[in-house]
Structure 1
Amino acid sequence: MTWLSTSITGFGFVLLAHACYSAHEHSALHSTSTASLSSLTSHGPSVSAVAALPIDISIETIVAILTICLGLVLGTPELRPIQWRVWAGQIEREGEKGFMNGDGEVDKDYVGNPFKVLESRPGFVDIRKQRKEFAEWVREGGSVEG
């Protein structure tokens, strides 16, 4: 993550923490005022225990969540191709430079050329050629030197 996305995400978390604290204080104040009001009017109609959350706390919560989402989206790395051949082609063309993150370090899942194993494996074994070489070796004497 870059410093900009980290700071935006941090600011969003501060807003969210403040909204949670405000909602908790509102519910605590409402419950104590409801309890004292119901003890005073024990004969009358009961007061509803559910109170709506003030609109400013709701708006602050929504803004905090959107700010956190914005910060996280800004900090995500560039998406990689889904198709293996496209991704492997990008690795062969760009090398490590194509897989640098925002801090200038190579991503941890960079493995180099994914086709290196296929390019370095031995070819098919030619049995007929080996049989001919073995027959010539036997004709020449076929001794094992040790």
Structure 2
Amino acid sequence: MTWSSNSVTGLGLFFLAHACYSAYEHSALHSVSTASISSIAGSSASVSSLPIDISIETIVAVFTIVLGQVLGTSELRPIQWRVWAGKIEREGEKGFMNGDGQVDKDYVGNPFRMLESRPGFIDIRKQRKEFAEWVREGGGADAAPKS
């Protein structure tokens, strides 16, 4: 991740930590104040929700963290295999460098290398014809047992 995405994510984490601390302080303060009021008045304590500013700060913090993470992601690859393989053949390793200048860990090179290096299909008719010619030329006579 780049420094900008790290700083945005860090700022979001700071906001989230502050919102959590504010929520804790609000609940602690509210519980102490309701305990003292209920002991004086003798009535049951009412439940109050968090103030709106703490809720908004929490939502803003989460969106800031998500924005920082999205900024730090690498470029998405094409869904179609032929498009991705074409990019590999055209650009090579240079097309798959991350923000740090290193080649991505899942770069494997030409994905069609195995298909291009495999032997072709066997032509049985051609092999049968070559074998028949070899037998006619006497290739089979040397291997035949003599009686």
Alpha-carbon distance in structure 1 between the residues aligned to 2:50 and 2:129:
90
- For 1:33, the equivalent position in structure 2 comes to 33
- Give the AA of the match of 2:84: W
Alpha-carbon distance in structure 2 between the residues aligned to 1:58 and 1:101:
37
- The two structures, once aligned, show a CA RMSD in angstroms of 1.6
Which one of the candidate residues 88, 99, 104 is aligned to 2:101? 104
TM-score by length of 2: 0.86
Q: CA deviation at 1:64?
A: 0.9
Q: CA deviation at 1:103?
A: 0.6
Q: CA deviation at 1:110?
A: 1.2
- For 2:73, the equivalent position in structure 1 comes to 76
Which one of the candidate residues 54, 62, 65 is aligned to 1:65? 62
Alpha-carbon distance in structure 1 between the residues aligned to 2:35 and 2:50:
18
3-state secondary structure, aligned to 2:120: coil
- Give the AA of the match of 2:2: T
- Identity fraction in percent: 78
Which runs of 5 or more structure 2 residues have no equivalent in the other structure?
none
Q: CA deviation at 1:46?
A: 3.1
Q: CA deviation at 1:75?
A: 0.4
Alpha-carbon distance in structure 1 between the residues aligned to 2:139 and 2:40:
118
Q: CA deviation at 1:33?
A: 1.3
Does 1:89 pair with 2:83?
no
Alpha-carbon distance in structure 2 between the residues aligned to 1:72 and 1:141:
72
Task: Report the number of matched residues.
Answer: 141
3-state secondary structure, aligned to 2:111: coil
TM-score by length of 1: 0.87
- For 1:114, the equivalent position in structure 2 comes to 111
Which one of the candidate residues 123, 127, 137 is aligned to 2:124? 127
- Give the AA of the match of 1:102: G
**Segment drifting more, 123-132 vs 17-26:** 123-132
Please identify runs of 4+ aligned residues in structure 1 that moved more than 4 A.
none
Which runs of 5 or more structure 1 residues have no equivalent in the other structure?
none
3-state secondary structure, aligned to 1:140: coil
